[in-house]
């Protein structure tokens, strides 16, 4: 088995992309970022836990590692941290009866789907421990725990992976989106049938409620999921679970820290830097910008998205990997419906309290809690006096991908192939084609959906402007401002500088005069690049880009 410290050949090493089995990972020689110290800590500190983390963040692999530990598979842990931590523990790696509930990869869109899944799991274990399989699912689970302890003389270990898969509401059917955005809808595991959803919650509540009343038969419990339904489902009864989702001691239990990145993946970093024709320091900086930045506590270290990082090393390209596996189209729609200014995602004005971070309720019109729990937002800061969290995008991958998915919903014309997308606009910028830029922006604003409600046009035009120019920041240097004394937007390419001022209900001439009066172009007086001062006027009544004036210098 390969451990972290081994020297490796120049050829590519085996990256565990999609590998969720700890046994397979160790037997087949995949690279492993050692997280086993957390198993030692969990076992020492308490007995029953819950952990929430975004999808594809390593929850299943960690649960599989716990399974191997409790099954006594000591050979898989050779050379890992836990081997040293447990060296004086005579009972370390003793096998216990383990019941591993994996709710991944199942279809729960029919009435008895959840019961059938639970029944199949129970039947396998009942045959092993000599149970008759009679009674309700809850009765059978209770009988199984009793029989397993009686037969082995040891308490049972219950591991539940992605408990919320059968409980996630069919948001795409509650909030249908047209036209569809990137990727496939997420989540869409359950039909819009409220009765079915409530039925599944009731099944879970009765089944796993056993864990509280049968504590004497339990040695260890660990439950994972993306969301935490703290006021419904299993958590209304399982208040004995220790929720470590926001604890600083466990902030890095999933994901990859900077130290782990540089220690474990040094050959991959070197290979990627070589492929990209950049230095290793520059490669590390780019990796950090693209995939780091997730914070799951107020004090813990930030972590990289493991799925994106591994895929980046495999392809040796900086791309959006995690986001592309499923775009939250219903969340995109909700952002527009509640008129949330898109700029708030990056200007440090998205706030949440503890309840927002730990409780998901599908009837809540605010998308912020679910955006956090699903990984599209992360903790930026914490005000201890006011007990208020500041949230924002974790990194470049999520920031640009999410804004890109927002744009077609705000301005449907922004579709590749029509000549009105970000790439076409970037082409105009690079060529100094201000007329082309005007035509594209005019088409984008003409496509803003007309609403019969009282939503102000200013909300839409500000959001579209912010999204468009922020997305352009991927390709050119872009500063977007809204405070007095600075231009609304400045774009810089190798040959040109564009200084924009936007007005609603006022003339483009007034916008241009403000650029001159405020001296926005002064910093570029000695610049050899051509400077364009552009005043733009929007018509509130007709909801369109009305005037466009350009002055060159």
Nearest to 498 by CA among 518, 524, 519: 524
Average pLDDT over all residues of the chain: 85
| Angle separating helix axes 266-276 and 280-291, nearest 10 degrees | 100
pLDDT digits (tens, 9 = 90+) for 196-229: 777 888 888 889 888 888 999 999 999 998 877 6
More confident residue, 369 or 188: 369
pLDDT for 544 beyond 80: yes
Fold category of 411-552 in CATH: Trna Endonuclease; Chain: A, domain 1 (3.40.1350)
For 238, the token pair is 């399982």
pLDDT for 258 beyond 70: yes
What whole-number distance in Å separates Cα of residue 267 and Cα of residue 316? 12
What whole-number distance in Å separates Cα of residue 25 and Cα of residue 408? 41
Whether the Cβ atoms of residue 498 and residue 490 lie closer than 8 Å to each other: yes
Nearest to 370 by CA among 17, 41, 55: 55
Whether the Cβ atoms of residue 211 and residue 156 lie closer than 8 Å to each other: no
What is the reported pLDDT for 6? 44
What is the reported pLDDT for 517? 92
pLDDT for 333 beyond 90: no
Token pair 């660990």 in the structure block, residue:
222
pLDDT digits (tens, 9 = 90+) for 473-509: 887 777 676 544 678 889 999 999 999 999 988 999 9
Whether the Cβ atoms of residue 251 and residue 301 lie closer than 8 Å to each other: yes
For 151, the token pair is 């037969």
pLDDT digits (tens, 9 = 90+) for 410-442: 888 888 778 888 999 999 999 999 999 999 999
User: What architecture is the 22-176+185-250 domain classified under in CATH?
Assistant: 3-Layer(aba) Sandwich (3.40)
In sequence order, the β-bridge partners of residue 282 are none
Q: In Å, how far from its chain's centre is CA 492? A: 31
What is the reported pLDDT for 332? 73
Highest-confidence segment of 131-140, 412-421, 461-470: 131-140
Length of the chain: 553
Highest-confidence segment of 4-18, 236-250, 348-362, 510-524: 510-524
Nearest to 359 by CA among 469, 225, 166, 510: 225
pLDDT confidence band for 269 (50 / 70 / 90): very high
For 321, the token pair is 């990997």
What whole-number distance in Å separates Cα of residue 543 and Cα of residue 450? 9
What is the reported pLDDT for 205? 84
For 231, the token pair is 């006021």
pLDDT for 64 beyond 50: yes
Where do the domains of the chain lie?
Answer: 22-176+185-250, 411-552
Number of H helices, E strands in the chain: 21, 13
């Amino acid at each position: 088995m390969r451990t972290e410290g081994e020297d490796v050949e120049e050829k590519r090493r085996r990256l565990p992309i999609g590998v969720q089995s700890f046994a397979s990972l160790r037997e087949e020689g995949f690279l492993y970022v050692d997280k086993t110290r957390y198993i030692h800590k969990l076992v020492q500190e308490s007995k029953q836990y819950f952990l929430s983390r975004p999808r594809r963040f390593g929850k299943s692999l960690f649960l599989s590692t716990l399974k191997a530990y409790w099954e006594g598979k000591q050979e898989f842990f050779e050379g890992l941290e836990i081997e040293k931590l447990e060296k004086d523990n005579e009972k370390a790696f003793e096998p216990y009866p383990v019941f591993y509930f994996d709710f991944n990869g199942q279809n729960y869109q029919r009435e008895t789907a959840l019961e059938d899944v639970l029944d199949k799991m129970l039947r396998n274990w009942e045959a092993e421990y000599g149970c008759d399989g009679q009674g309700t699912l809850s009765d059978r689970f209770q009988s199984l725990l009793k029989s397993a302890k009686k037969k082995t003389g040891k308490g049972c270990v219950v591991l539940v992976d992605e408990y919320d898969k059968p409980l996630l509401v069919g948001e795409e059917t509650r909030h249908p989106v047209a036209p569809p955005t990137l990727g496939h809808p997420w989540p869409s595991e359950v039909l819009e049938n409220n009765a079915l959803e409530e039925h599944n919650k009731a099944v879970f509540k009765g089944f796993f409620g056993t864990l509280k009343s049968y504590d004497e038969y339990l040695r260890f419990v660990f439950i994972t999921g993306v969301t935490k339904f703290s006021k419904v489902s299993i958590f209304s009864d399982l208040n004995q679970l220790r929720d470590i989702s926001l604890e600083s001691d466990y902030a890095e239990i999933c994901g990859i820290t900077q130290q782990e990145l540089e220690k474990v993946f040094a050959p991959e970093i070197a290979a990627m830097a070589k492929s990209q024709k950049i230095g290793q320091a520059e490669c590390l900086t780019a990796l950090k910008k693209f995939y780091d930045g997730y914070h799951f506590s107020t004090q813990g270290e930030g972590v990289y998205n493991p799925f994106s990082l591994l895929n980046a090393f495999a392809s040796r390209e900086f791309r959006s990997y995690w986001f592309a596996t499923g775009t939250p189209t219903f969340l995109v729609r909700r952002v527009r419906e509640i008129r949330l200014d898109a700029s708030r995602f990056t200007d440090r004005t998205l706030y949440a309290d503890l309840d927002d971070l730990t409780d998901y309720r599908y009837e809540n019109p605010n998308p912020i809690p679910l955006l956090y729990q699903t990984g599209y937002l992360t903790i930026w800061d914490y005000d201890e006096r006011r007990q208020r969290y500041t949230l924002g995008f974790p990194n470049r991958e999520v920031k640009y991908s999410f804004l890109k998915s927002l744009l077609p919903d705000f301005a449907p014309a922004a579709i590749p192939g029509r000549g009105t997308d970000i790439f076409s606009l970037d082409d105009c910028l690079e060529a100094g084609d201000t007329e082309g830029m005007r035509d594209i922006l005019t088409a984008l604003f003409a496509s803003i959906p007309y609403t019969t409600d009282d939503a102000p046009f200013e909300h839409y035009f500000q959001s579209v402007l912010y999204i468009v120019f922020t997305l352009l920041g991927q390709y050119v240097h872009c500063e977007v401002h809204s405070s007095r004394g600075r231009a609304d937007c400045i774009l810089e390419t190798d040959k040109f500088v564009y200084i924009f001022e936007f007005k609603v209900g006022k003339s483009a001439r007034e916008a241009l005069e403000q650029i001159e009066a405020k001296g926005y172009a002064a910093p570029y007086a000695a610049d050899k690049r051509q400077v364009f001062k552009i005043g733009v006027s929007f018509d509130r009544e007709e909801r369109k880009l009305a005037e466009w004036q350009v002055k060159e210098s």
